[in-house]
Amino acid sequence: MVDLAHASGLEVVFPESVERIIADLFSNRQRILKREKLVDKKQYFPLLSYLEALPPTYKVSHETILKHLDSDGSLFQSPSATASAYLATGNEACLAYLQSLALNCASNGAVPSLYLVDEELTKLSMVYQLVRLGLTEYFDQEKDEILAQIYRNYKHEKSIVKSIHSIAAELYKDCLGFWLLRMHGYRVSPSSVCWFLDREEVRDHIEKHYEYFSSVLLNIYRASNLMLPNEHELEKARTFSKKFLEKIASRGTRDSSIISSSHCRMVSGNIQHFLSFSIIKHELGLPWMARLDHLEHRMWMEEKDACVLWMGKFSCHRSSLVQNQDILQLALQNFEQRQSIYRMELDVLKRWSETTGLSKMGFGREKTVYSYFAVAASVSVPCNSDVRVLVAKGAVILTVADDFFDMEGSLEDLEKLTEAVQRWDGEGLSAHAKTIFEALDDLVTDFRMKCFKQLGKDIKKNLQNIWGETFHSWLIEAKWSRSGDVRPTQEYLDVAMTSVGAHVLVLPPSCLASPTTSLHQLWSNPYQPITKLLMVITRLLNDIQTYEKEEKQGKLNFVLLYLKENPGASIEDSINFVQLLLHQLKKEFLQHVLEEPCSVPELSRLLHFACLKVFHMFFNSSNRYDSDTDMLPDIQKALVVPPRVPKLKPLRPLPQQPGPKPRVFETKSLSGQYGLERFPRKSFIGYRMSSQTGPVNRWEKMYKSSSFKLCFA
């Protein structure tokens, strides 16, 4: 605009501060124009793709423009550059492209910075946003239809040579598709993400222009979170992406000239673009398995740059569908209603803890709030209020009983309590032991009755057995500790994987979440591989962060036992050994959760995964469970403080559509037993989708059509 004004002899007067900025911009532009070629295949986007922004003094011949038109009549698929090309040349193909663009974008009144719009990427991005915002339960059928179609295309994919100018969008889509498909149980090859490692030209290009690929690198890193055993390609991709993400994050902390709203900073006269640094630091700083779903949904709502798709012609290419305020409003209301339900459930749990006497034992850790927070914030699979409260009760009993064995009871008291639990008869118990047994008996009865009422199955013996073996493991550890007996690491782990208690938290709700599953499938002895892996991993996570405390208490710990079996090792060596072991075990565990065919149903596997996340969160970099203050900010965010998002307009219902009534969707309640108002499935967002047609190659770009649309009021 300033160029055109000057060319027309118009004087534009700016404030002095703006004059300096304008002068810097013109100076930087001149350096770029002198340094770079008009068309250079090694340049991320060549100068010619910015034809509309080139100054009048920069002459571009008609022949050069026509030579670089795409087959669809566009200039590098840029609407603005193509419009300038048409004005300069009058080319009919350019006009046809612009007319097609106007026709297809007329409904939303907005033109994307790059066009053709990849419809498949739009669908993937929409599903990804719903997942990250915690809204998929309202769109299960639509989500499943989209992913099934994406997977059908994926299986018929043909290897194609990707243009150097399209690799950002291609890699972004590859990573997004891989993440969503694998997270939903589809078998996908790492090569769909890691292909760039085998193309030296592409790899070198990303290394040279890594600032432009921050969004892509971040999604490569996210995809590598789903690494399974022997997937060495993903290991290399993770190392590659992490190296450059750390560079971006470190430069961001040092450079005060970053403008977060525009994702850019000045480097040697070039404008280089970034995602929000808070997202990158979050991904690098907190392991994926240590994040609780409820808090992740909140973070995604609050992060203004979470919706960035890939680096396009101008900074970041965004989708108006993905950023739609109605979706954010739905997510906000969904989150706040969950908070209100969670607060009421926590009140129920607190009253129970006081009534049973567990909160007034006078020793050990009082973790009623911690226990409920961990259950509520980690489980995104369908669970009603009763189940959440029952699991939290189990966690409270687990903590109190463990502390009783560690610090309060005499050996005689511990033996009596263990015998009482194994025969399930509390006669003869007194004081603390009696309180613990009675609370446990009530919990088992409640779980038993709920399961029998819902499924017609009696799990009384199963519940008694898993609690009995847990108390027995505590007794063995207490005897080891008091006698000073040192056991081999394997013998210790055989006992300690039970004493950590993960299985008593995850198996009872698994019965309720998987009504068609036989009891033998879940409660077989030895346990299913996924359950055994959960028990071992949670024990090792605990031992890494508690070895100092347990050394003072005279307790056995895997980290300390490894030192004794390897006299030349240091404590750092021992911790590194356990971490390497955990790295491998977690990949095996993830394989069972995501795609390994086994007799454990999907919902049960997801509950196992939620349990692992809780332990990983508590014992990631410190022993947060024993801290009285470390968890409080997260608890406030999860249960009390509303998300901090821009003020949004209230949602309106969809207008009535002419014609036959739409199909009725099942209404899902977030309110459990409290009778709160439900979210009607169709009152916020209407969704239409026609059957999929077109090419089977999932990477082929298509015009944005009316067959896929989100309908907002």
Report pLDDT digits (tens) over 219-245.
999 999 999 999 999 999 999 999 999
pLDDT band, residue 310 (cuts 50/70/90): very low
Q: To which H or E segment does residue 108 belong? A: none
Residue 342 resides in a domain: no
Query: In angstroms, how far is CA 216 from the centroid of its own chain?
Result: 16
Distance CA 313, CA 113 (A): 7
Residue 266 resides in a domain: yes
* Residue listed under structure tokens 């072991």: 581
pLDDT at residue 80 is higher than 70 = yes
Residues 453 and 525 in one domain: yes
pLDDT band, residue 292 (cuts 50/70/90): very high
Distance CA 264, CA 305 (A): 13
Residues 431 and 534 in one domain: yes
Output 507 or 381, whichever has higher pLDDT. Answer: 507
Specify the pLDDT at position 499: 98
Residues 172 and 92 in one domain: no
Specify the pLDDT at position 711: 29
Total domain count, the chain: 3
pLDDT at residue 94 is higher than 70 = yes
Q: Is 485 exposed, middle or buried (0-12, 13-18, 19+ CB in 10 A)?
A: exposed
Distance CA 419, CA 409 (A): 14
CATH, residue 527 = 1.10.600.10
Q: What is the DSSP letter of 313?
A: S
Distance CA 557, CA 544 (A): 9
Residue 169 resides in a domain: yes
CATH, residue 289 = 1.50.10.130
Where is average pLDDT lowest: 26-35, 211-220, 527-536, 578-587? 26-35
pLDDT band, residue 599 (cuts 50/70/90): confident
pLDDT band, residue 375 (cuts 50/70/90): very high
Specify the pLDDT at position 364: 84
Residue 505 resides in a domain: yes
Q: Which of 578, 607, 625 is the last residue of a domain?
A: 625
pLDDT at residue 256 is higher than 50 = no
Residues 91 and 151 in one domain: no
Q: What is the DSSP string of 114-137?
A: S-S--HHHHHHHHHHHHHHHT-GG
pLDDT at residue 322 is higher than 50 = no
- Quickly count: other Cβ atoms within 10 Å of residue 133's Cβ: 22
Residues 502 and 591 in one domain: yes
Distance CA 290, CA 288 (A): 5
pLDDT at residue 637 is higher than 90 = yes
Distance CA 132, CA 380 (A): 11
Token couple for 196: 């760039």
The partner residues of 687 in beta bridges, in order of sequence, read: 710
Report pLDDT digits (tens) over 504-543.
999 999 888 766 666 666 777 788 999 999 999 999 999 9
Let me know how long the chain is: 713
Residues 13 and 131 in one domain: no
Sequence-ordered list of residues with C-beta below 8 angstroms from that of 710, at least 6 positions apart, any chain = 126, 321, 324, 685, 686, 687
Specify the pLDDT at position 610: 96
Nearest Cα to 244, choosing from 269, 286, 267, 275? Answer: 275
Sequence-ordered list of residues with C-beta below 8 angstroms from that of 647, at least 6 positions apart, any chain = none
Sequence-ordered list of residues with C-beta below 8 angstroms from that of 316, at least 6 positions apart, any chain = 215, 263, 273, 275, 305, 308, 309, 310
Where is average pLDDT lowest: 4-13, 143-152, 335-344, 357-366? 4-13
Specify the pLDDT at position 151: 94
pLDDT at residue 612 is higher than 90 = yes
Token couple for 49: 């793709």
Specify the pLDDT at position 52: 86
Nearest Cα to 592, choosing from 580, 604, 582, 581? Answer: 604
Specify the pLDDT at position 317: 43
Token couple for 264: 């850019």
Report pLDDT digits (tens) over 139-187.
999 999 999 999 998 887 665 555 666 788 889 999 999 999 999 999 9
φ/ψ (deg, to 5) at 549? -65, -45
Specify the pLDDT at position 148: 95
Report pLDDT digits (tens) over 664-673.
433 333 333 3
Query: Three-class SS of residue 93?
Result: helix
Where is average pLDDT lowest: 467-476, 603-612, 703-712? 703-712
662 close to 332: Cβ distance less than 8 angstroms: no
pLDDT band, residue 275 (cuts 50/70/90): low
Output 579 or 32, whichever has higher pLDDT. Answer: 579
Residues 127 and 90 in one domain: no
3-class secondary structure for 4-31? HHHHCCCCCCCCHHHHHHHHHHHHHHHH
Nearest Cα to 133, choosing from 406, 285, 323, 353? Answer: 323
Q: What is the DSSP string of 561-578?
A: HHHHH-TT--HHHHHHHH
Report pLDDT digits (tens) over 29-74.
777 777 777 776 555 567 788 888 888 778 889 999 998 888 888 8
Calculate mean pLDDT across residues 238-255: 81
Token couple for 284: 């690098």
The partner residues of 478 in beta bridges, in order of sequence, read: none
- Residue 449's domain comprises 366-625
Distance CA 107, CA 117 (A): 14
Report pLDDT digits (tens) over 456-484.
888 999 999 999 999 999 999 999 999 99
pLDDT at residue 363 is higher than 50 = yes
Residue 270 resides in a domain: yes
Output 275 or 164, whichever has higher pLDDT. Answer: 164
* Average pLDDT score over the chain: 82
423 close to 469: Cβ distance less than 8 angstroms: no
Handedness of CA 70, 73, 78, 82 (dihedral sign): positive
pLDDT band, residue 495 (cuts 50/70/90): very high
CATH, residue 47 = 1.50.10.160
Specify the pLDDT at position 701: 32
pLDDT band, residue 215 (cuts 50/70/90): confident
Residue 262 resides in a domain: yes
Distance CA 436, CA 357 (A): 9
pLDDT at residue 270 is higher than 50 = no
* Residue listed under structure tokens 């961990």: 374
Residues 492 and 609 in one domain: yes
pLDDT at residue 297 is higher than 60 = yes
Query: Three-class SS of residue 459?
Result: coil
Question: In whole angstroms, how far apart are CA 475 and each of 264, 295, 298, 405, 406?
Answer: 60, 37, 42, 7, 9
Q: What's the pTM value of the predicted model, to 2 decimals?
A: 0.81
Specify the pLDDT at position 78: 87
- In percent, the amount of the chain with pLDDT more than 90 equals 55
pLDDT at residue 260 is higher than 60 = no
Q: Which of 104, 131, 163 is the last residue of a domain?
A: 104
For 278, how many CA atoms within 13 A lie in the half-sphere containing its CB? 9
Q: What is the DSSP string of 647-683?
A: --PPP-PPPPPSSSPPPPPPPPPS-GGG-PPP--TTS
Residues 288 and 226 in one domain: yes
Distance CA 560, CA 540 (A): 12
Residue 333 resides in a domain: no
Calculate mean pLDDT across residues 199-210: 90
pLDDT band, residue 22 (cuts 50/70/90): confident
93 close to 73: Cβ distance less than 8 angstroms: yes
Calculate mean pLDDT across residues 399-414: 95
Q: What is the DSSP string of 380-441?
A: -S---HHHHHHHHHHHHHHHHHHHIIIII--HHHHHHHHHHHHHT--TT--HHHHHHHHHHH
Calculate mean pLDDT across residues 253-258: 33
Residue 372 resides in a domain: yes
Nearest Cα to 682, choosing from 708, 646, 657, 658? Answer: 657
Specify the pLDDT at position 11: 79
pLDDT band, residue 121 (cuts 50/70/90): confident
Query: In angstroms, how far is CA 181 from the centroid of its own chain?
Result: 14
* Residue listed under structure tokens 């006081």: 354
The gap between the terminal CA atoms of the chain, to the nearest Å, is: 36
Cis peptide before 601 (omega within 30 of 0): no
pLDDT band, residue 249 (cuts 50/70/90): confident
Specify the pLDDT at position 31: 79
- Quickly count: other Cβ atoms within 10 Å of residue 569's Cβ: 15
Q: Which of 607, 625, 643 is the last residue of a domain?
A: 625
* Residue listed under structure tokens 């470390």: 630
The partner residues of 259 in beta bridges, in order of sequence, read: 264
- Quickly count: other Cβ atoms within 10 Å of residue 125's Cβ: 22
Residues 131 and 78 in one domain: no
Residues 95 and 130 in one domain: no
Residues 522 and 391 in one domain: yes
For 54, how many CA atoms within 13 A lie in the half-sphere containing its CB? 21
